[in-house]
Structure 1
Amino acid sequence: MDLLALSDFNLVARYGGFGRAARAAGRPKATLSRRVADLEGSLNLRLFERGARALKLTEEGRALFERTGALLTELDETAAAIASGGDTPRGRLRISAPLLFSQTAMGRLAAGFALKYPEVRLEITTEDRPVDMVEEGYDLVIRVNPDPDETLVGRIFLRDRLVVVASPNLSRPAGDLAVPAIVRGTGDRVAAWSLMTPSGRSRLPVDPVLRLSSLVMVRDAVRAGVGVGRLPVSLVSHDLAAGTLVQWGAVEGADIALWTLYPSRRLLSPRVSAFLDYLKEAFPKGTPDELAAFVPG
Structure 2
Amino acid sequence: MDLLALADFNLVARHGGFGRAARAAGRPKATLSRRVSELEAALDLRLFERGGRTLTLTEEGRALHARTGVLLAELDETAAAIASGSATPRGRLRISAPLLFSQVAMGKLAAAFAMTHPEVRLEVTTEDRAVDMVEEGYDLAIRVDPEADASLVGRIVLRDHLVVVASPNLARPTGDRPVPAVVRGSGGGDAWSMRTPGGPSPLAFEPVLRLSSLIMVRDAIRAGIGAGRLPISLVSRDLAAGTLVRWGDIDGPDIALWALYPSRRLLSARVAAFLDHLKRAFPHGTPEELAAYVGPESEV
- Kindly indicate whether the alpha-carbon contact (under 8 Å) linking 2:162 and 2:232 is maintained by their aligned counterparts in 1: yes
1:181 alignment counterpart: 181
Q: CA RMSD in A?
A: 2.7
**Paired residue secondary structure (2:251):** strand
**Distance in structure 2 (CA, Å) of the matches to 1:128 and 1:232:** 16
- Kindly indicate whether the alpha-carbon contact (under 8 Å) linking 1:191 and 1:205 is maintained by their aligned counterparts in 2: yes
Q: 1:111-150 counterparts in 2 under 5 A? A: 111-150=111-150
Amino acid at match of 1:57: E
Give the deviation of 1:135 after TM superposition: 2.2
2:98 alignment counterpart: 98
Can you list the C-alpha shifts for 1:170-195, whole angstroms capped at 9, x where unaligned? 1221222111111112233x111111
**Distance in structure 2 (CA, Å) of the matches to 1:95 and 1:219:** 26
- Kindly indicate whether the alpha-carbon contact (under 8 Å) linking 2:22 and 2:29 is maintained by their aligned counterparts in 1: no
**Distance in structure 2 (CA, Å) of the matches to 1:182 and 1:13:** 49
1:193 alignment counterpart: 192
In structure 2, the CA distance between the partners of 1:176 and 1:38, relative to structure 1 (3 Å rule), is same
Give the deviation of 1:165 after TM superposition: 0.6
Give the deviation of 1:211 after TM superposition: 1.0
- Kindly indicate whether the alpha-carbon contact (under 8 Å) linking 1:47 and 1:57 is maintained by their aligned counterparts in 2: no
The alignment's TM-score, normalised by the length of structure 1, stands at 0.87
1:10 aligns with 2:10: yes
Amino acid at match of 1:144: V
**Distance in structure 2 (CA, Å) of the matches to 1:14 and 1:141:** 24
- Kindly indicate whether the alpha-carbon contact (under 8 Å) linking 2:194 and 2:201 is maintained by their aligned counterparts in 1: yes
2:239 alignment counterpart: 240
**Distance in structure 2 (CA, Å) of the matches to 1:20 and 1:253:** 58
- Kindly indicate whether the alpha-carbon contact (under 8 Å) linking 2:165 and 2:245 is maintained by their aligned counterparts in 1: yes
Can you list the C-alpha shifts for 1:55-85, whole angstroms capped at 9, x where unaligned? 4333x983x5566444312211113213543
Residues paired across the two proteins, number: 291
2:58 alignment counterpart: 56
Give the deviation of 1:25 after TM superposition: 7.9
- Kindly indicate whether the alpha-carbon contact (under 8 Å) linking 1:74 and 1:267 is maintained by their aligned counterparts in 2: yes
**Paired residue secondary structure (2:252):** strand
Can you list the C-alpha shifts for 1:61-117, whole angstroms capped at 9, x where unaligned? 83x556644431221111321354311112221111111111111111112212222
**Distance in structure 2 (CA, Å) of the matches to 1:148 and 1:21:** 44
Give the deviation of 1:281 after TM superposition: 1.0
**Paired residue secondary structure (1:294):** helix
Give the deviation of 1:207 after TM superposition: 1.1
In structure 2, the CA distance between the partners of 1:160 and 1:13, relative to structure 1 (3 Å rule), is farther
Between the aligned residues of both structures, percent identity stands at 69
**Distance in structure 2 (CA, Å) of the matches to 1:217 and 1:237:** 16
In structure 2, the CA distance between the partners of 1:79 and 1:228, relative to structure 1 (3 Å rule), is same
- Kindly indicate whether the alpha-carbon contact (under 8 Å) linking 1:172 and 1:179 is maintained by their aligned counterparts in 2: yes
Give the deviation of 1:221 after TM superposition: 0.5
Structure 1 gaps, min length 5: none
**Distance in structure 1 (CA, Å) of the matches to 2:72 and 2:94:** 17
Structure 2 gaps, min length 5: none
**Distance in structure 1 (CA, Å) of the matches to 2:50 and 2:207:** 50
**Distance in structure 1 (CA, Å) of the matches to 2:234 and 2:112:** 21
**Distance in structure 1 (CA, Å) of the matches to 2:19 and 2:82:** 27
2:289 alignment counterpart: 290
The alignment's TM-score, normalised by the length of structure 2, stands at 0.86
Give the deviation of 1:166 after TM superposition: 0.5
Amino acid at match of 1:202: S
- Kindly indicate whether the alpha-carbon contact (under 8 Å) linking 1:195 and 1:201 is maintained by their aligned counterparts in 2: yes
Q: 1:39-54 counterparts in 2 under 5 A? A: 39-43=39-43, 45-48=44-47, 50=49
**Paired residue secondary structure (1:94):** strand
Q: Which range moved further: 195-204 or 214-223?
A: 195-204
- Kindly indicate whether the alpha-carbon contact (under 8 Å) linking 1:70 and 1:266 is maintained by their aligned counterparts in 2: no
Give the deviation of 1:11 after TM superposition: 4.5
**Distance in structure 2 (CA, Å) of the matches to 1:20 and 1:229:** 58
1:279 alignment counterpart: 278
Amino acid at match of 2:160: D
Give the deviation of 1:29 after TM superposition: 7.7
- Kindly indicate whether the alpha-carbon contact (under 8 Å) linking 1:13 and 1:57 is maintained by their aligned counterparts in 2: no
**Distance in structure 2 (CA, Å) of the matches to 1:146 and 1:216:** 21
Q: 1:16-55 counterparts in 2 under 5 A? A: 18-19=16-17, 22=20, 26=24, 33-43=33-43, 45-48=44-47, 50=49, 55=57
In structure 2, the CA distance between the partners of 1:75 and 1:193, relative to structure 1 (3 Å rule), is same
Can you list the C-alpha shifts for 1:110-161, whole angstroms capped at 9, x where unaligned? 1221222222221111111111212222111111111111111101111001
**Paired residue secondary structure (1:171):** coil
- Kindly indicate whether the alpha-carbon contact (under 8 Å) linking 1:166 and 1:245 is maintained by their aligned counterparts in 2: yes
